[in-house]
Amino acid sequence: MSEDGAPGFSLELTEDVQQVKDWVHEFAKDVIRPAGEEWDEREETPWPVLQEAAKIGLYSLDFFANQWFEPSGLGIPVAFEELFWGDAGIGLSLVGSGLAAVSVAATGLPEQIAEWVPEMFGTADEVKLGAFCASEPDAGSDVGSIRTRAEYDQAKDEWVINGTKTWATNGGIANVHVVVASVDPDLGSRGQANFIVPPGTPGLSQGQKFKKHGIRASHTAEVILDNVRVPGACLVGGKDKLDERLARVREGKRAAGQAAMRTFEASRPTVGAMAVGIARAAYEYALDYAREREQFGKKIGDFQAIAFKLADMKMHLDAARLLVWRAAWMARNGKEFGSAEGSMAKLYAGETAVKVTEEAIQILGGNGYTRDYPVERWHRDSKIFTIFEGTSEIQRLVIGRTVTGLPVR
């Protein structure tokens, strides 16, 4: 326990977190891992796996909420590492709704959270999804240039949304979409707000579904918004808060836009944890292989060249997990990220996953390069972690700006 009453940082998992880790690991080993190859080839959302996860309460709002509020902050990182150890594409399908849920839970009114977040998960009998739609064809890293426009129709107390979103995980197949739109384009990212688009709202449709390099068991698509009308109550956080925020920004005062960025920073360790899961899967597989495979009359693990690779893989994997856990503990316990620790964790873990999975292919030689072995899939899956949720370059910008205090470009 620290002076301010928050649980101190410990590498020893609490009994509750350890139990969750074991439980999620069993599901990952018995259900997710065996299904990974099939759903990667099918390039579809693995509904049967989601249903099985829902039946045991793993794909549920309760599970996510309990882990999110777990006091040490390690509930989510530990669970996500296990899921992605099982398979990253299926893992992303299992946690994809979480991003949409957090976008409402973080700044939504209590009644919005109560109404819409459960709709992003559904029930064990009827599994549902949520999608968070920020990126656009001309607004990826540069979120300030989002063109999707939301205009208020005062007479009807409705918002009218028009624009095209891209790269949306679960886009078009989700029950609830959360759409980031500009309400005042002159204010860039500070003139934006999140809108809930309820199920079946006319004007929302799926555009192109992308065929991807990796995480192919997760659905990624464009979302078209053509005169989509949503009730005033679907503006996340409510109109009074928005008007107040816009007024502050127009007066040149610090506004909650920066608070949204802080929320984003706080969620980055969870993305790092997913990357740690893939890296661990590849490391363990390569380790077993190096202990079995013989060349020149020896186990290949006897060759320094291979043992040194394994040493580096394990070191980077452990370092990545430590950064993730530190940032997750800080975020949960309200510690200010003085050196962009959330970005550090996501950046290091993402690049570690790419490096470790590549080395795993090298250790497996020709076998590693084929689809008969899982490491090539894990390598394809790992690459997304240097791209989404802020590219590696953007993470370095954030860290660079934070540590120097300069407006690094």
Ligand X SMILES: Cc1cc2nc3c(=O)[nH]c(=O)nc-3n(C[C@H](O)[C@H](O)[C@H](O)COP(=O)(O)OP(=O)(O)OC[C@H]3O[C@@H](n4cnc5c(N)ncnc54)[C@H](O)[C@@H]3O)c2cc1C
Q: Report the nearest approach of ligand X to the CB of residue 171 (Å).
A: 7
Q: Are 354 and 379 in contact (CB under 8 A)?
A: yes
Contact map string, positions 210 to 249, toward ligand X, x by CB under 6 A: --x--x----x-----------------------------
Of the candidates 115, 222, 389, 393, the residue annotated as catalytic is 389
Residue 331's SS3 state is helix
- For residue 294, what are the β-bridge partners? 299
The dihedral region occupied by 163, where left means phi > 0, alpha psi between -120 and 50, and beta the remainder, is: left
Choose which of 97, 135, 192, 270 interacts with ligand X (CB under 6 A). Answer: 135
C-alpha radius of gyration, the chain, whole number? 22
> What residue spans of 87-175 are helical by DSSP H?
88-107, 110-116
Comparing CB distances to ligand X, the nearer of 72 and 352 is: 352
Q: Are 352 and 387 in contact (CB under 8 A)?
A: no
Comparing CB distances to ligand X, the nearer of 249 and 384 is: 384
Q: Report the nearest approach of ligand X to the CB of residue 271 (Å).
A: 10
Closest CA to 347 of 407, 402, 286, 405: 402
Give the count of beta carbons closer than 10 Å to the beta carbon of residue 176. 27
Q: Does 140 bind ligand X (CB under 6 A)?
A: yes
The residue range among 38-46, 131-139, 150-158, 235-243 that interacts with ligand X, by the rule CB under 6 A, is 131-139
The residue range among 18-26, 28-36, 121-129, 389-397 that interacts with ligand X, by the rule CB under 6 A, is 389-397
| Mutual angle of helices 88-107 and 61-68, in 10-degree steps | 70
Closest CA to 20 of 83, 107, 94: 83
Buried b (16+ CB within 10 A) or exposed e, 295-320: eeeeebbeeeebeebbeebbebbeeb
Q: Does 132 bind ligand X (CB under 6 A)?
A: yes
Q: Report the nearest approach of ligand X to the CB of residue 394 (Å).
A: 6
The residue range among 20-28, 59-67, 127-135, 295-303 that interacts with ligand X, by the rule CB under 6 A, is 127-135
Residue 190's SS3 state is helix
Identify whether 119 is a catalytic site residue.
Answer: no
Residue 238's SS3 state is coil
Half-sphere exposure of 1 (CA within 13 A, CB side): 3
Residues in 165-204 at the binding interface with ligand X, rule: CB under 6 A: 167-169
The backbone torsions φ and ψ at residue 133, rounded to the nearest 5 degrees and listed phi first, read -115, 95
Residues in 92-111 at the binding interface with ligand X, rule: CB under 6 A: 99
Comparing CB distances to ligand X, the nearer of 167 and 285 is: 167
Question: Residues in contact with ligand X, total (CB under 6 A)?
Answer: 21
Q: Report the nearest approach of ligand X to the CB of residue 173 (Å).
A: 12
CA 165 to chain centre: 18
Q: Are 196 and 113 in contact (CB under 8 A)?
A: no
Residue length of the chain: 409
Tokens representing 228? Answer: 């989509």
Q: Report the nearest approach of ligand X to the CB of residue 295 (Å).
A: 37
Number of H helices, E strands in the chain: 13, 9
Residue 112's SS3 state is helix
The residue range among 32-40, 41-49, 163-171, 352-360 that interacts with ligand X, by the rule CB under 6 A, is 163-171
Comparing CB distances to ligand X, the nearer of 168 and 364 is: 168
CA torsion angle for 29, 30, 34, 36 (degrees, to 10)? -60
Q: Are 239 and 150 in contact (CB under 8 A)?
A: no
The residue range among 235-243, 265-273, 277-285, 385-393 that interacts with ligand X, by the rule CB under 6 A, is 385-393
Contact map string, positions 390 to 409, toward ligand X, x by CB under 6 A: -x-xx--x------------
Q: Does 263 bind ligand X (CB under 6 A)?
A: no
Comparing CB distances to ligand X, the nearer of 320 and 384 is: 384
Choose which of 38, 144, 388, 400 interacts with ligand X (CB under 6 A). Answer: 388
| Residue closest to ligand X (Cβ) | 140
Strand 158-169 relative to strand 176-182, pairing: unpaired
The residue range among 58-66, 119-127, 247-255, 388-396 that interacts with ligand X, by the rule CB under 6 A, is 388-396
Q: Report the nearest approach of ligand X to the CB of residue 323 (Å).
A: 20
Comparing CB distances to ligand X, the nearer of 160 and 394 is: 394
Comparing CB distances to ligand X, the nearer of 141 and 370 is: 141
Comparing CB distances to ligand X, the nearer of 134 and 204 is: 134
Which residues make up the interface to ligand X (CB under 6 A)?
A: 99, 132-135, 140-141, 167-169, 212, 215, 220, 384, 387-389, 391, 393-394, 397
The set of catalytic residues is 389
